[in-house]
C-alpha cells in the first residue's frame, strides 16, 4: 500500500511565486492594451526605444532591445508598413539605417507611456512613496545592480556635519576667551 503524502497546512506561496503572479497580471493588462492597438508584445519596447533615441541605428536598437539585428529589421519593416516608423539611410555609412518615429508613432508611443504609467499608478495606489523608493532599491539589489548592491541602509538619527562641529568648537573657544577677560 502506498501512502499519500499529508497535505501542506497553512502553506504560504513563495516570494518568487507572488512576484510571478503579480507580473502575469501586469503582462496580461499590457498585452491586452497592445492587442487593442494592433501591436505584438515587444513592439512597445521597440517604439519607446526609438522615441528616446531618435535616429538610432538598427544595430544599436537591436543591442538595446537584446534581439538580433535581423529581428530588428523585420519589426522595423512591419512598423514602416503601419506608418509608425521611418528609416533613413545613414549619410556616413550606407550600410546603416537610422530609425525615427512618424507622427503616428510618436502619438502611439505617448499613449503607451501614459497607459503604462496609469498601470503603475494603479499598482502603487496603496503604497507610500518611501515604500516605492525602497522597493526600487530592493529590486536593484535582486537584479544585481552593482551601484546599489553595496549600499547599506542609513542609520536613524542625524550625524553632525563638519561645518557644525567647527562652529561649535569656535563658539566654545569664544566663550572661554570671554570668561578669561
C-alpha cell at 174: 569664544
- What pLDDT score does 171 carry? 57
Query: Over the range 131-161, which residues count as b (16 or more CB within 10 Å of their CB) and which as e?
Result: eeeeeeeeeeeeeeeeeeeeeeeeeeeeeee
Residue by residue, DSSP assigns 77-133 as HHHHHTTSEEEEE-SS-TT-EEEEE-HHHHHHHHHHHHHHHHHHHHHTTTS-HHHHH
The three-point CA angle 138-144-146 to 5° equals: 95
CA 83 to chain centre: 27
Closest CA to 64 of 79, 48, 80: 48
Helix axis angle, 43-52 to 69-81, nearest 10°: 90
- What pLDDT score does 167 carry? 54
Query: How many Cα neighbours within 13 Å face the side chain of 56?
Result: 23
Alpha-carbon span 88 to 57, nearest angstrom: 9
- What pLDDT score does 124 carry? 87
- What pLDDT score does 46 carry? 95
Q: Please list the ranges in the chain whose pLDDT falls under 70.
A: 1-2, 6-11, 146, 148-181
pLDDT digits (tens, 9 = 90+) for 19-28: 899 999 999 9
- Structural domains of the chain sorted by starting position, each given as residue range(s) with its CATH number in brackets: 17-126 (1.10.10.10)
Closest CA to 26 of 106, 105, 121: 121
- What pLDDT score does 177 carry? 52
- What pLDDT score does 2 carry? 66
Amino acid at each position: 500500500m502506498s501512502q499519500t503524502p499529508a497535505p501542506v497546512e497553512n502553506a504560504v506561496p513563495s516570494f518568487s511565486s507572488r512576484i510571478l503572479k503579480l507580473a502575469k497580471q501586469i503582462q496580461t493588462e499590457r498585452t491586452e492594451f497592445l492587442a487593442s492597438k494592433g501591436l505584438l508584445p515587444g513592439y512597445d519596447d521597440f517604439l519607446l526605444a526609438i522615441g528616446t533615441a531618435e535616429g538610432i541605428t538598427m544595430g544599436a536598437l537591436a543591442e538595446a532591445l537584446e534581439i538580433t539585428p535581423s529581428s530588428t529589421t523585420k519589426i522595423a519593416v512591419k512598423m514602416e508598413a503601419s506608418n509608425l516608423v521611418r528609416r533613413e539611410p545613414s549619410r556616413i555609412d550606407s550600410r546603416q539605417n537610422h530609425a525615427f518615429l512618424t507622427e503616428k508613432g510618436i502619438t502611439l508611443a505617448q499613449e503607451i507611456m501614459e497607459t503604462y504609467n496609469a498601470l503603475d499608478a494603479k499598482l502603487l495606489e496603496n503604497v507610500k512613496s518611501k515604500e516605492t523608493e525602497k522597493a526600487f532599491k530592493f529590486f536593484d539589489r535582486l537584479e544585481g545592480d552593482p551601484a546599489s548592491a553595496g549600499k547599506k541602509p542609513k542609520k536613524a538619527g542625524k550625524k553632525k556635519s563638519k561645518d557644525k562641529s567647527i562652529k561649535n568648537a569656535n563658539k566654545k573657544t569664544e566663550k572661554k576667551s570671554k570668561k578669561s577677560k
